[in-house]
C-alpha cells in the first residue's frame, strides 16, 4: 500500500502521461510545465513524457528545450517512438517500425473490428492510420468529435449507452472483439487500448514506452523508488483498464506511481491517488525542484535484492563499518558515523599508500566524513545500496541525522557527502591534527603523512544552510596521494575545484551510471534464494570496489575496508580475488598483476639473498615489495610465537604465476603473456629451478615449506606446493623459446617433482609424513568451522591430521588438469572430515569442489557459511575489515563450482550443478574480451553472448552459440 510519505523523497526521474496529467488538454497553455521540465532537467532530473499521440502534438505544446544535465525524452505514438529533446530540438532515438506485412495485418484487424461492431449495431470507423496502429472511433458523433478530458464521465456514459442500446455489455467487450480480430489477422501480441471514445489496434502501447524508459534509466543506476510515475487514468474506465496502468510494467515495479486523475472507478493497488489534475501534478514537480535546490539528501531504491541494512547494535558497530565501506578501487571509507564516537573505527585509505616502517600499514587518511552533530545521533538506519554504491543513513526518527555518501566510481578522486537533520549539524574538521594553513572560506585541507612513506591529502569544500526546517550540509572532497613523499596540495585543491564545479547531483549521477556499467558485466542472479543472491551481490560489490582499474593495484587481505594485517598483500589477492576480477573487470585484474610486475626487482633480490636464482615474491607484501611478514605474533594462549609463513609459505611464488596465466586465459590478453606476464611466469619459475632439490633417485623435493594448511607449519614436500611448482615449471616451459634448453630442463624438473599421490587410494599425502600423524577427525571435537588450534592447542593439532583449510584440495580447484583424473572424490572424502575450516579461505573452496563432485546440496551448506561470514561476523574479526578472499571465494564457488565454468582456450566450459533450493543461477562476466551471460536452470542452460562463442558442455559436447542467446538442454 502506498501512502503519501512515498512522495516525500527526491526522485531522480519522472515519467508521466501528458494529456490529463501534465496539461488539461492538448490546447492548454503548457508554459508552466515547460518551465518546470527545463528547471528539473537543469537540476539533474531525467524526464520522460509518455503519450499515445505524435511528437508534433506533445512537442508543439510543451516546447521545452532543456540543456541538462538531466534529460527530456518524449516516448510517443503509443509506445512506438522515443525522442530526445535538447537545446537543438527533437531527435528520434528509438522507433518501432511495422513491416509491410504488419501494416497489412493492422489494416485487416481494424477493418474487421469495425465490421463486427457494425454487424452488432454499433457504427464505428477507422479514423487514423498511424505508426504501428489504427484508431477506431466508436462514437463518431459531432457532439463527441473532440471531447476534453474534463468530460470523461459524460463521455463514458454516452459510450455505455450507445453500446447497451446495441446489445453490447460494455467497452471491454469491444476490446475483446478487437483482440480477436487482431489475432485472426495474424498479430500475435496485439496491443488494444481505449480512451473510451476510441479503440486502438496496435503493435505497441504505453508499456513499451515505460519499458524503454525503465531500461534507459536502469543503465544509469536509476531504478524503482528513484522514479516517479505520474498519470491520470490508472483505474479502469468503462470496463477497460486505464491506459496509464500500462506504464506499470514489471521493470518499474518498485517505482512510485501517483494519479492526479478523477479515477471514477478507483485506482489500482500500488498507485497513490492524489487527484487534483495537472495543477496537483505541477505542484509535485515544483516540490521536487525545491528539494533539489535545497540540497536535500538524495534517496535510494530500497530494493531488498540490492540493499544491505547494516547492523545497528553497538556490539556490531565496527563490523558494520567494514560492511558499509564505500570504495571505488582507489580509496575506501569505512561506514563510521559522521559524528565519531568512542566505539568507532573510522578509516579512509588509499590503495597502495603505506607507511615505510618495518611493519608497514595503510596510511590512515583524513576523516573526510566528519560532521559536528549536537548530542548523540541515532545508530540505526544505515543501508548500503549495492546497485549504486552509496551508503545511506536514515534513522526511523524522521528528524534524525540523515546522510548519503559515496566515493565516485566515475572520478577516482571525488568523494561526496550530504547530510540533513533537525538538529543544527555543521561541517567538522576532517583531521584531528592542527588545522593547516587557512583555505578559502568553506574549504578545509588536511594531510596524513608517514615518515618516509606515503601521504594522503584531502581538501573538502563545504556548504551548509537550511531548507525545509532542516540543517543541511554538503561536502565535496578530493584527495591526492603519494606512495612516498608529500601529497600534492595544489593538485588536490584543483581537483576539488573541478568537482565542486560539477556539483554533487551530477557527481552522484555519474557515480550511479558507473556502477550500473560495472554491474552489467558482473550480474549475479540466484532464483529461489534471495538471501544467497544478496550475499553474493555483497561479495561482488566489495570485490569490484577493492582495486583500481589502471596503474597498479595492491589488494590487501581486507581490501580497503579495514586496517587488519596493515593492508598487506597475501596470496589471497592472486588466488581468491584476481580470478573474479579477471572475469568481471579484467583491467583491474591486470592492475593487480602490474603490482607484482613492478616488484619483480625486489623479488629477484629476495631470491638472490637466499642463494637462489629468479624471483621470490614475499608471503606478505606492501609498498616496496620486500617481505613484510612480522617476525612474531601472540597466540591466543598468550605466548609469543615466531611467525614462520614469511620464511616457508613459498607457494605464493607459483600462485602469482598461476594468476598471471589465469588472467590471460580469461581475458584473452595475449600481449600480456607475450610480454610482462611472460617475464613474471619465467622469472618465478627460475626460482623453483634452483630451490628444488633432487634426491639420488632424481626425484624433485621441496624441503621446509608451508602449505595453505598452517596448522602444520614447516613440512617437506607439501603436495600443494610441489604440484603447483610442477604446473608452474611446465607452463614456463611452454612460454619459453621452443626447443630451448631451459624449457627442456624445466620440463624434466617438473616431471621429477614428487607429489605424494597414492594410485591405490587416489589420495595425495598432504606432506611427507602426514599419514603417520594421529588420525583425528575434526567432528570428534567440534562442528566446523572452528579454530581447531585455539580449541585444542596448536601443538596438539600439529601432531594430528586435522587441517586448517583446503590444501591438497586447492589443487583440484586451481589446477584440475595437473592432478590425477578421478582423484577429487577420494581426496574430498578423506580431507573433508579432517578440515576444520578455521580459515575464512576454506569453506568457499570446498563449496566449489563439492559442487564439482556432484554434491551441490552439500555444497550449498558450506556456501551459506561463506556467504554469511562477514554479514554475520561469524569469526568476530570483520571489524578489522572484510575477508576479501572469502568474498572472492563466494563468486568462484558460483562460477567454477555450481556453473562449472572454465576457460579452455577460446572455448568456455560450462557444466552446471545446481542445488535443489535454487531454481536458476545466472552470472554475467567478460570472457576473452566479450560480455557473456550464463543462466543455468535444472534442465537447461542459456548462453548470452555479444559475439559467437564456443561452449564445451558436459560429456565433451561442443556447442556453437550465436548472439544474442542460445539455449541448450542440460541433464545434470
Partner 1 sequence: MKTVVAAVDSTAAAQPVLDTALGIGRLTAASVEAVHVTGHDGVETPSELASRRDIPLRFLSGPVVPGLLSAVAAREVIAAVLGARATPFGRRPVGSTALAVIRAADKPIVVVPPDVAGARAQPFHRLLVPLEGNDASSRAVLDGLVPLLADDVALIVLHVFTPDTVPRFLDRPSRDVSTLSREFVARHCPPAARAELRTGSVSGEVDVLCREVAADLIVLSWSQTGDPGRAT
Q: Which residues bind partner 1 (CB under 8 A)?
A: 314-315, 317-319, 342-343, 557, 564-565, 630, 632-638, 641, 643, 645, 710, 781-782, 785-787, 789-791, 793-794, 837-841, 869, 874-877, 879-880, 883
CB of 339 to partner 1, least distance (A): 17
Residue count of the chain, please give it: 972
Rama region for 720: left / alpha / beta (φ>0; ψ in -120 to 50; rest): alpha
The residue (of 634 and 697) whose beta carbon lies closer to partner 1 is 634
Please give the Cα distance from 223 to 218 (Å, whole number).
6
What does the block give as the cell for 105? 495485418
Closest CB to partner 1 among residues 20, 880: 880
Return the number of the residue (410 or 874) whose C-beta is nearest partner 1. Answer: 874
Residue 336 CA: distances (Å) to CA of 346, 354, 383: 5, 21, 13
CA gap 894, 912 in Å, rounded: 10
The answer for residues whose C-beta is within 8 angstroms of residue 324's C-beta and 6 or more apart is 308, 310, 334, 335, 382, 384, 391
Least distance from C-beta 764 to partner 1, angstroms? Answer: 24
Least distance in angstroms from the C-beta of 710 to partner 1: 8
Residue 964 preceded by cis peptide, ω within 30: yes
Closest to partner 1 by CB, 5 or 632: 632
- φ/ψ of 16, rounded to 5, equals -145, 155
Nearer to partner 1, 617 or 918 (CB): 617
Provide the Cα torsion 348, 354, 360, 365; round to 10°: -30
Nearest distance in Å: CB 870, partner 1: 10
> Which CB atom, from 186 or from 793, has the smaller least distance to partner 1?
793
- Closest-CA residue to 416 (of 484, 360, 473): 473
CB contact burial 455-465 (16+ within 10 A = b; e otherwise)? bbbbbbbbebe
In the complex with partner 1, the residue whose CB is nearer, 883 or 902, is 883
Kindly report the number of other CB atoms within 10 A of residue 783's CB atom: 7
CB atoms within 10 A of CB 262: 18
Using the structure block, give the residue that is written with the C-alpha cell 488538454. 25
User: Of 563, 565, 554, 559, which is closest to residue 540 (Cα–Cα)?
Assistant: 559
Measured from the CB of residue 316, what is the shortest distance to partner 1 in angstroms? 8
Nearest approach, Cβ of residue 631 and partner 1 (Å): 11
Helix (H, G, I), strand (E, B) or coil at 353: coil
E strand map for 731-845: 757-758, 763-764
Among 263, 321, 710, 922, the active-site one is: 710
- The smaller minimum CB distance to partner 1, of residues 672 and 711, is found at 711
**Least distance to partner 1, CB of residue 364, Å:** 15
Extract the C-alpha cell encoding 537. Answer: 551481490
Is 710 in the active site? yes
Eight-class DSSP state of 471 = E
User: In this complex, which beta carbon is closest to partner 1, that of residue 837 or of residue 928?
Assistant: 837
Q: Look up residue 377 and give its DSSP letter.
A: P
- In the 8-state DSSP scheme, what is residue 244? G
Q: How far is the CB of 660 from partner 1 (least distance, A)?
A: 24
Nearer to partner 1, 317 or 953 (CB): 317
Listing DSSP states for 575-644 in one string gives IIIHHHHHHH-HHHHHHHHHHHHTTHHHHHHHHHHTT--S----SSB-SSSS----SEEE-TTS-EEE--
The smaller minimum CB distance to partner 1, of residues 159 and 569, is found at: 569
Provide the minimum distance between the beta carbon of 787 and partner 1 in the complex, in angstroms, as a whole number.
Answer: 5
**Minimal distance in Å, beta carbon 864 to partner 1?**
13
Residues 584, 830: Cα–Cα separation, whole Å: 34
Residue among 478, 661, 487, 450 nearest 567 (CA)? 450
DSSP state string for 504-533: HHHHHHHHHHHHHHHHHTS-EEEET-HHHH
The β-bridge relationship of strands 256-259 and 348-350 is unpaired
Q: Where is 74: in which H helix or E strand? A: strand 72-76
For the CB of residue 790, give the shortest distance to partner 1 in the complex, in Å.
5
Whether 883 contacts 840, CB under 8 Å: yes
**φ, ψ for residue 293 (rounded to 5)?**
-70, -30
Q: Is the peptide bond before 69 cis (omega within 30 degrees of 0)?
A: yes
Residue whose CB is less far from partner 1, 634 or 958: 634
Least Å distance between CB 867 and partner 1?
14
- Catalytic positions, written as ranges: 710
Amino acid at each position: 500500500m502506498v501512502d503519501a510519505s512515498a512522495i516525500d523523497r527526491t526522485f531522480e526521474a519522472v515519467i508521466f502521461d501528458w494529456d490529463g496529467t501534465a496539461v488539461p488538454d492538448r490546447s492548454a497553455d503548457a508554459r508552466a510545465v515547460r518551465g518546470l521540465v527545463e528547471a528539473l532537467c537543469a537540476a539533474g532530473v531525467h524526464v520522460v513524457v509518455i503519450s499515445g499521440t505524435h511528437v508534433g502534438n506533445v512537442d508543439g505544446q510543451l516546447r521545452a528545450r532543456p540543456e541538462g544535465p538531466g534529460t527530456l525524452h518524449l516516448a510517443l505514438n503509443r509506445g512506438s517512438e522515443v525522442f530526445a529533446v535538447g537545446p537543438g530540438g527533437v531527435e528520434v532515438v528509438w522507433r518501432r517500425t511495422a513491416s509491410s506485412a504488419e501494416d497489412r495485418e493492422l489494416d485487416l484487424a481494424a477493418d474487421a473490428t469495425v465490421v463486427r461492431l457494425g454487424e452488432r449495431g454499433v457504427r464505428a470507423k477507422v479514423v487514423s492510420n498511424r505508426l504501428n496502429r489504427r484508431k477506431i472511433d466508436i462514437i463518431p458523433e459531432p457532439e463527441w468529435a473532440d471531447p476534453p478530458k474534463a468530460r470523461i464521465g459524460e463521455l463514458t456514459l454516452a459510450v455505455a449507452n450507445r453500446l447497451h442500446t446495441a446489445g453490447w455489455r460494455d467497452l471491454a467487450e469491444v476490446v475483446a472483439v478487437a483482440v480477436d480480430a487482431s489475432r485472426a489477422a495474424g498479430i500475435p501480441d496485439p496491443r488494444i487500448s481505449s480512451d473510451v471514445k476510441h479503440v486502438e489496434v496496435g503493435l505497441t502501447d504505453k508499456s513499451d514506452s515505460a519499458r524503454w524508459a525503465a531500461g534507459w534509466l536502469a543503465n544509469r543506476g536509476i531504478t524503482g523508488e528513484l522514479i516517479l510515475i505520474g498519470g491520470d487514468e490508472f483505474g479502469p474506465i468503462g470496463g477497460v483498464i486505464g491506459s496509464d496502468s500500462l506504464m506499470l510494467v514489471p521493470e518499474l515495479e518498485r517505482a512510485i506511481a501517483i494519479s492526479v486523475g478523477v479515477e471514477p472507478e478507483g485506482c489500482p493497488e500500488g498507485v497513490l491517488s492524489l487527484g487534483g489534475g495537472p495543477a496537483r501534478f505541477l505542484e509535485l514537480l515544483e516540490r521536487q525542484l525545491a528539494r533539489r535546490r535545497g540540497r536535500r539528501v538524495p534517496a535510494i531504491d530500497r530494493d531488498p535484492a540490492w540493499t544491505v541494512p547494516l547492523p545497528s547494535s553497538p556490539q556490531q558497530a565496527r563490523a558494520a563499518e567494514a560492511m558499509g565501506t564505500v570504495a571505488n578501487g582507489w580509496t575506501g571509507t569505512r561506514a563510521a558515523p559522521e559524528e565519531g564516537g568512542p566505539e568507532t573505527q573510522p578509516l579512509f585509505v588509499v590503495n597502495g599508500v603505506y607507511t615505510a616502517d618495518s611493519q608497514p600499514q595503510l596510511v590512515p587518511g583524513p576523516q573526510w566524513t566528519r560532521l559536528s552533530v549536537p548530542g548523540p545521533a541515532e545508530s540505526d538506519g544505515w543501508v548500503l545500496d549495492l546497485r549504486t554504491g552509496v551508503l545511506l543513513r536514515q534513522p526511523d526518527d524522521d528528524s534524525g541525522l540523515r546522510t548519503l555518501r559515496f566515493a565516485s566510481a566515475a572520478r577516482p578522486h571525488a568523494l561526496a557527502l550530504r547530510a540533513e537533520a533537525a538538529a543544527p549539524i555543521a561541517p567538522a574538521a576532517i583531521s584531528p591534527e592542527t588545522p593547516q594553513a587557512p583555505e578559502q572560506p568553506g574549504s578545509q585541507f588536511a594531510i596524513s603523512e608517514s615518515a618516509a612513506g606515503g601521504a594522503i591529502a584531502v581538501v573538502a569544500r563545504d556548504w551548509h544552510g537550511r531548507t525545509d526546517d532542516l540543517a543541511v550540509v554538503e561536502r565535496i572532497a578530493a584527495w591526492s596521494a603519494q606512495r612516498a613523499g608529500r601529497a600534492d596540495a595544489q593538485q588536490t585543491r584543483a581537483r576539488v575545484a573541478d568537482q565542486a564545479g560539477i556539483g554533487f547531483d551530477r557527481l552522484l549521477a555519474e557515480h550511479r551510471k558507473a556502477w550500473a556499467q560495472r554491474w552489467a558485466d558482473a550480474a549475479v542472479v540466484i532464483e529461489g534464494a534471495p538471501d544467497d543472491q544478496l550475499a553474493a551481490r555483497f561479495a561482488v560489490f566489495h570485490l569490484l570496489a577493492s582495486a583500481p582499474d589502471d596503474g597498479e593495484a595492491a589488494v590487501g587481505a581486507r581490501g580497503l575496508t579495514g586496517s587488519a594485517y596493515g593492508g598487506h598483500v597475501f596470496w589471497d589477492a592472486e588466488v581468491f580475488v584476481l580470478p573474479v576480477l579477471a572475469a568481471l573487470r579484467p583491467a583491474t585484474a591486470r592492475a593487480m598483476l602490474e603490482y607484482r610486475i613492478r616488484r619483480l626487482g625486489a623479488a629477484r633480490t629476495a631470491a638472490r639473498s637466499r642463494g637462489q636464482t629468479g624471483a621470490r615474491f614475499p608471503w606478505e607484501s606492501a609498498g616496496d615489495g620486500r617481505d613484510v611478514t612480522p617476525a612474531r605474533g601472540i597466540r591466543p594462549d598468550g605466548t609469543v610465537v615466531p611467525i614462520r609463513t614469511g620464511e616457508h609459505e613459498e607457494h605464493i611464488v607459483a600462485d602469482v604465476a598461476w594468476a598471471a596465466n589465469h588472467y590471460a586465459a580469461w581475458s584473452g590478453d595475449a600481449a600480456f603473456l607475450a610480454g610482462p606476464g611472460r617475464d613474471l611466469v619465467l622469472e618465478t619459475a627460475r626460482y623453483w629451478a634452483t630451490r628444488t632439490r633432487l634426491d639420488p633417485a632424481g626425484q624433485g623435493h621441496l624441503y621446509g615449506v608451508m602449505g595453505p594448511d598452517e596448522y602444520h607449519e614447516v613440512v617437506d614436500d607439501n603436495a600443494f606446493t610441489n604440484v603447483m611448482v610442477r604446473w608452474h615449471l611446465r607452463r614456463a616451459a611452454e612460454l619459453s623459446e621452443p626447443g630451448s634448453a631451459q624449457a627442456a630442463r624445466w620440463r624434466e624438473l617438473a616431471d621429477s617433482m614428487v607429489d605424494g599421490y597414492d594410485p591405490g587410494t587416489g589420495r595425495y599425502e598432504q606432506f611427507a609424513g602426514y599419514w603417520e600423524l594421529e588420525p583425528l577427525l575434526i567432528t570428534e571435537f567440534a562442528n566446523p568451522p572452528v579454530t581447531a588450534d585455539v580449541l585444542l592447542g596448536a601443538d596438539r593439532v600439529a601432531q594430528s591430521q586435522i587441517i586448517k583449510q583446503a590444501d591438497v584440495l586447492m589443487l583440484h580447484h586451481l589446477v584440475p588438469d595437473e592432478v590425477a583424473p578421478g582423484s577429487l572424490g577420494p581426496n574430498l572424502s578423506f580431507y573433508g572430515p579432517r578440515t576444520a575450516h578455521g580459515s575464512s579461505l576454506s569453506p568457499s573452496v570446498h563449496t566449489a569442489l563439492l559442487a564439482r563432485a556432484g554434491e551441490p546440496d552439500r555444497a550449498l551448506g558450506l556456501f551459506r557459511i561463506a556467504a554469511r561470514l562477514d554479514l554475520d561476523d561469524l569469526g568476530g574479526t570483520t571489524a578489522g575489515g572484510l575477508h576479501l578472499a572469502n568474498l572472492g571465494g563466494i563468486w568462484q564457488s558460483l562460477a567454477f563450482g555450481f556453473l562449472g565454468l572454465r576457460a579452455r582456450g577460446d572455448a568456455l566450459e560450462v557444466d552446471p550443478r545446481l542445488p535443489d533450493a535454487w531454481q536458476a543461477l545466472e552470472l554475467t562476466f567478460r570472457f576473452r574480451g566479450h560480455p557473456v551471460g550464463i543462466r543455468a536452470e535444472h534442465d537447461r542452460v542459456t548462453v548470452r553472448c555479444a559475439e559467437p562463442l564456443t561452449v564445451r558442455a558436459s560429456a565433451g559436447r561442443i556447442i556453437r552459440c550465436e548472439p544474442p542467446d542460445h539455449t541448450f538442454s542440460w541433464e545434470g
